Each structure stands twice: as structure tokens, then as C-alpha cells.
Copies of this chain bind each other. A is one copy, B any other.
Amino acid sequence: MNPMKYQFFNDYSEGAHPKILERLAASNLQQMTGYGNDEISLQAQALIQQAVGNPQAAVHFVSGGTQANLLCLASMLRPHESVIAPATGHINAHEAGAIEATGHKIETIQTNDGKLRASHLADLFKTPRDEHVTKPKATFISNASELGTIYSKAELQSLRDFCQQNDLYLYLDGARLGSAITAKDSDLNLADVAALTDMLYIGGTKNGALLGEAIVITNPALQSEFRWHIKQRGALLAKGRVVGAQFLELFTGDLYFELARHANKMAEHLAQELRELGFAFLTPPQSNQIFPILPEALIARLQQDYGFYVWAPAGDGLSAIRLVTSWATEEKAVEQFLKAARDSK
């Protein structure tokens, strides 16, 4: 990465929010029990149970999102069962076959905006299944989706209803859940999301932590012996406190949401100004990932000073780019980027 360029590649380019480092340092030399049974992790779990409004929810900390996805899904599937996901879903598109490596097929659905609807599932369930094909048992969604879009409460409720009627677990990848639920358009809060799914993870890595995700299991049938799955997949950290302390800081007070709101605010600002400059978007800009469609010449000029991905050609000399903001995105950098866009237009 060219250090001269300010970058909008992703939301994990910086380390952790300073308060998180402070929290880690505060208890650093204190002796604690290993493997996540320490006091700090227990406190963090309790705060998350509160935040999701479910004191019976099981909470576990692991180090990354692919790890969370593979171990959560593998824990709930029998060998012949599959998971349904949008084709753009992280487990299908960016995890190097991690789910298949646990033995399970992903049944993919093409979508325009990265979101699954109950109608997609209904289509899939029209064809009766026998033993010559896999049996779908879980549905994977992410909120925000990989295309920056977010779910409404009605959409999530409707997925939930379909899943319950069809004996499917609903699993939510919340790598960017902070951004999703603090988005301007969102009518969901954390408790809603937890109540409408069977298992989910709340992303720390992309929302200010050094690393770490909090798995939340609300379906009691899926809670039993979950630590075995964590250990077996190599995800049980000896110093569990390292992730515990970070979530303790994020959920003591409002930090988790503050950080997400900042990322959203930066993205909204970018989106609004780009829209005013007359640019369209690949998907509705709703969270901290936006996909404006720009002339390729403009893209080339912006790339001289800024880092970002060119996502997909859009015809007529245009391409969609991906801009990602984060808790650490500097307002000044956003302004300069927009000025450069205006000047080069």
C-alpha cells in the first residue's frame, strides 16, 4: 500500500480504537483464567446479552469472520445438509471454500443487491427434494451485505418466517452489523436482529477492534457443546481475554455504535456529494460500503491519490468503484477526495 495515498479500500486498514488499546493495557499483567473463562470475557458476554436483549443468549468470542462463519455453520449441519446463501455472500465468494472444507454445499442464489428475500427461498423450495440432492437446513445472510445494502425489519421478519416454516436455521454474518443497524435507513436494532435469527456474529474487526467477533446464539438447541466446535476449528484463544477486553470496551457505553455511526456518516457524505455530482450507484448507498459508478478517466485520476477497488465495469466508459469508510476515516480525507472528484469531473 502506498503510504502517500489515503485509502478507502476497506475498514480494517487501521489498528484499534485507542480506547480499546487502553482497555487491553489496563488489565494486561493481571493473571486470569485461560480460554475465555476469565472475568473480563464473562463481563463482556453479559454486556452483549444485555445489548441483544436476551439473557439466555450464548456469547462466544473468536478471532475472525471466516472462522466464525465456518464453525457456526458446521456446528448446525448434519453431513447431508446444505446452507443457502446469496452468490455474493462472503462464505461463497471470499472464504476459499471454508464451508465446503467442513463438508457442506452452499446453494447459491443470484441477487442484484446482495440481499436474500423470502421469495428467493420460496423459489428454491418449489422443487421437491429427494436424497439425490442436498437438504437445505440453514440460510446465510449478511447485514450489511457484501454490496453495502441493509435489511429492513420487514424483510428480516419475512425471511425468519419462511425459515421457521421450512425448518431452516437463519444465520447472520454481522461483520458490518454495527454499520447496518446504525444506518440512516435501518429500522432494526441489535435486539431485533438477535430475536429474528438463530445465530449471528457481531463484528469487531471491521468496527474498531484489533481483531475479534462475538458469536451470539439465541436458539437454545444450537447452544449445546458449542465450545467444542470452537476448539476443534482452532478458534479457542488461550488468552481469550484479548478479544473479551475489546468487546468489553465496545459495549461499555455506546462505543460500538459510535464507531459505526462515524463510518456511516463518512459514507453518507461521500454518497450524497457524488450523487449531487450526477453519479449513479451500483446498489443503494446505505452503509459504510458504497459503490458509485464513475467515468474511467475520473477513476484513474482519483487513483493517483486515493486507494480503492474498481469493482465492475458498468459500460459506456464507466465503472463501479467500492469506497469503504470506517471508524477511523478522517473527515478531511473525505473532503479532499470529494474535491478531487469535483475538480476532475
A residues engaging B (CB < 8 A)? 1, 3, 6-7, 9-10, 12-16, 18, 21, 24-25, 27-34, 38, 63-71, 74-75, 78-80, 82, 93-98, 100-106, 130-135, 205-206, 210-211, 225, 227-239, 241-242, 328
Residues of B within 8 A of A232 (CB): 79-80, 95-98, 101, 134
Is A234 touching B237 in the complex (CB atoms < 8 A)? Answer: no
Could you say how many copies of this chain the assembly holds?
4
Residue pair B239, A15 in contact (C-beta under 8 Å): yes
Q: Provide the residues of chain B in CB contact with A78, threshold 8 Å.
A: 75, 78, 225
CB-CB < 8 A to A71: which residues of B?
234
Q: A15-B24, A131-B236, A228-B135 are in contact. Are A97 and B80 (CB under 8 A)?
A: yes
Contact A100 B100 (CB under 8 A): yes
Q: B210 contacts A24, CB within 8 Å?
A: yes
The answer to whether B131 touches A233 (Cβ under 8 A) is no
Closest residue of B by beta carbon distance from A71 = B234
- Bound CA–CA A14/B38 (angstroms): 11
Chain B residue contacts of A97, Cβ below 8 A: 79-80, 82, 103-105, 133-134, 232
A63-B64, A80-B231 given; name 13 further pairs at CB < 8 Å.
Answer: A1-B31, A13-B32, A15-B239, A15-B241, A18-B28, A64-B234, A80-B101, A80-B229, A94-B133, A96-B232, A98-B232, A211-B237, A211-B239
